[in-house]
Amino acid sequence: MALVPSRSDSEALIPEVEMNAGADQTATTARVTVVQASSVFYDTPATLDKAEKLVAEAAGYGSQLVLFPEVFVGGYPHGSTFGLVVGNRTAKGKEDFQKYHASAIDVPGPEVSRLSALAGKYKVFLVIGVVERAGYTLYNTVLSFDPLGKYLGKHRKVMPTALERVFWGFGDGSTIPVYDTPIGKMGALICWENRMPLLRTAMYAKGIEIYCAPTVDCMPTWLSSMTHIALEGGCFVLSACQFCRRKNYPPPPEYTFCGLEEEPSPESVVCSGGSVIISPLGTVLAGPNYESEALLTADLDLGEIVRAKFDFDVVGHYSRPEVLSLVVKSDPKPAVSFISAAGRDDDYVQT
């Protein structure tokens, strides 16, 4: 099944249904939806309202899992430098970061509780990108929830890309989860983390079957990367990308797009999507869509995983651990650890 609505921003999402999809009634299947949409930048409550509407629509199609793009809650700061040049930061850039910090969410926190309730209300697995605020450091994070409204856990991006390293911290090996669910083992890596072979291998070793890849990479080459991962991992790959226009961001001078010869027009596309769903045998089941905000839905035949692994099991019969092996350090790496001698209190006392 493929739902790929093409619409103007003012039109409702109307599904186009491919009726012959999922025709094999003997196979165990899961219906999944990938959301391609823009955040409401600097307005987290409005973004959460938008997320609920989109989840409700996906649930109306019978979807059991709904995937949102990278940092959907909190937003991706396209075109911003936060006033950074080598050796200096501008006052305006610091003000921009203050606003961005205010748009982020605490984990746990009230926004996480709302997302939990949303997943429970519509009875879906919800996987959604957020900007996580941990004190004064921000992280590019994916949160996962089950259909009972339970918060399952998070993954923090371990390697922010390029200038992202200015405003996002680095995750560690303690947040690379794969969740065993009734519709398959699922987990997520973010954007160009998916180009890190060792990190992908860690996910394969955990038995991932539904591989979520929220992103803001809208380049045509992304489809090749996602297809390779599906074939390499013998898993379904779901990639959700934002579709953003200039008008989805505050107007200048509050928000400016740097590195361009002129300010984009309000209708200019700054991230063109490309969301896609791919089978373990490399078949594109839905997408890619580069036209508009959209919902892409497919029925996954979970039996296809076994058929793909018969050909190639990268951490099983097609591995050579006596020649090549991987060690993953999965313990947390805090900046400071307080260790007390037995029977003695820490010097730090919270009042």
Q: Among all residues, which ones are annotated catalytic?
A: 70
In this structure, the chain runs to a length of 351
Phi then psi for residue 296, to 5 deg, are -115, 125
Residue 162: CA atoms inside 13 Å, Cβ hemisphere, count?
A: 6
- Nearest Cα to Cα of residue 77 among 100, 98, 49: 100
Q: Cα–Cα distance between 63 and 17 in angstroms, integer?
A: 13
Cβ pair 127, 146 in contact under 8 A = no
Q: Cα–Cα distance between 103 and 13 in angstroms, integer?
A: 27
Three-class DSSP category at 278: strand
DSSP bridge partners of 84? 89
**Neighbouring residues of 255: CB distance < 8 A, sequence distance ≥ 6:** 41, 42, 80, 96, 249
Q: Cα–Cα distance between 260 and 268 in angstroms, integer?
A: 12
Q: Are strands 178-181 and 125-134 parallel, antiparallel or unpaired?
A: unpaired
Other C-beta atoms within 10 Å of 32: how many? 30
Three-class DSSP category at 77: coil
DSSP bridge partners of 85? 88
Q: Cα–Cα distance between 201 and 180 in angstroms, integer?
A: 17
- Nearest Cα to Cα of residue 183 among 78, 321, 28: 28
Cβ pair 236, 187 in contact under 8 A = no
Give the CA diameter of the chain.
Answer: 68
Cβ pair 51, 40 in contact under 8 A = no
